[in-house]
Amino acid sequence: MRIKRAMIMAAGKGTRMRPLTDTMPKPLVPFAGKPLIDHVLDRLDEAGIEEAVVNVHHFADMLEAHLAARPRGPRIVISDERAELLDTGGGTKKALGLLGEEPIVTFNSDSVWVEGLGSNLRNLIEAFDPGRMDALLMIADAASTIGYVGRGDFTMDPLGALARRVPATTAPFVFAGVQVVSPALFAEGPDGPFSTNLVWDRLIEKGTLFGHRMTGVWMHVGAPDDLAEAEAFLRDL
């Protein structure tokens, strides 16, 4: 199916990225020669996404000015969270009137990677099957990411269905910050802030949360040290 619209999660305070985020929103932190959010928008543009809804909160005016000055697509629509930061689930619910009813891509503004075979975003979109999936997450091999330190997020069965990591164990896959999902699922969430994890847990119970294994190398850039490690990796390619 063809997906035309995306939502970029860009409203967070970027607390772990301080001191860089003391003077700018995290999506504008430079990485490999351009702001993080421009990496995201360029990926979306290359994949044929026509419109991106971007939520704003921290240094919202600065982020809006940058987005307004972009010389290329996709078209930008702002979802204003200045009054209250709503987390990923609540932010998507607030933006439902802007997102339409068809499946969308959601994209964390700090999700960056080196491509493997073809386009990971295009491959994800092409792999989404609305007949059996409510959401399809881009997942990376936890052991081969740059900057990620953790026990992993998910296990995956042979058909691609995801399950949570069991406590006190490790899991082979980590969420790479991008998914294809039906926006209507977020309407069922509570009022106010909530995490997309609430939606995912419901889908795991239904058996409709799936993963698509990305190629290449995903880079976790949550803090300044992560950013430096990722840029060093790029220089050594």
Q: Which of 11, 7, 40 is nearest to 26 (CA)?
A: 11
- Kindly list the distances between the CA atom of residue 230 and the CA atoms of 31, 175, 219, 224, in Å, as whole numbers in the listed order: 9, 17, 6, 10
Tell me how far apart the alpha carbons of residues 122 and 237 are, in angstroms, rounded to a whole number: 23
> Residues of the chain with pLDDT > 70: what percent?
100
Is the pLDDT at 101 greater than 80? The verdict is yes
Is the pLDDT at 1 greater than 80? The verdict is no
As a whole number, mean pLDDT of residues 89-93 equals: 97
Domain boundaries, the chain: 5-235
pLDDT tens, residue by residue, 113-156: 999 888 999 999 999 999 999 999 999 999 889 988 889 999 99
pLDDT at res. 71: 87
Q: Give, in words, the CATH class of 5-235.
A: alpha beta
Tell me how far apart the alpha carbons of residues 90 and 190 are, in angstroms, rounded to a whole number: 8
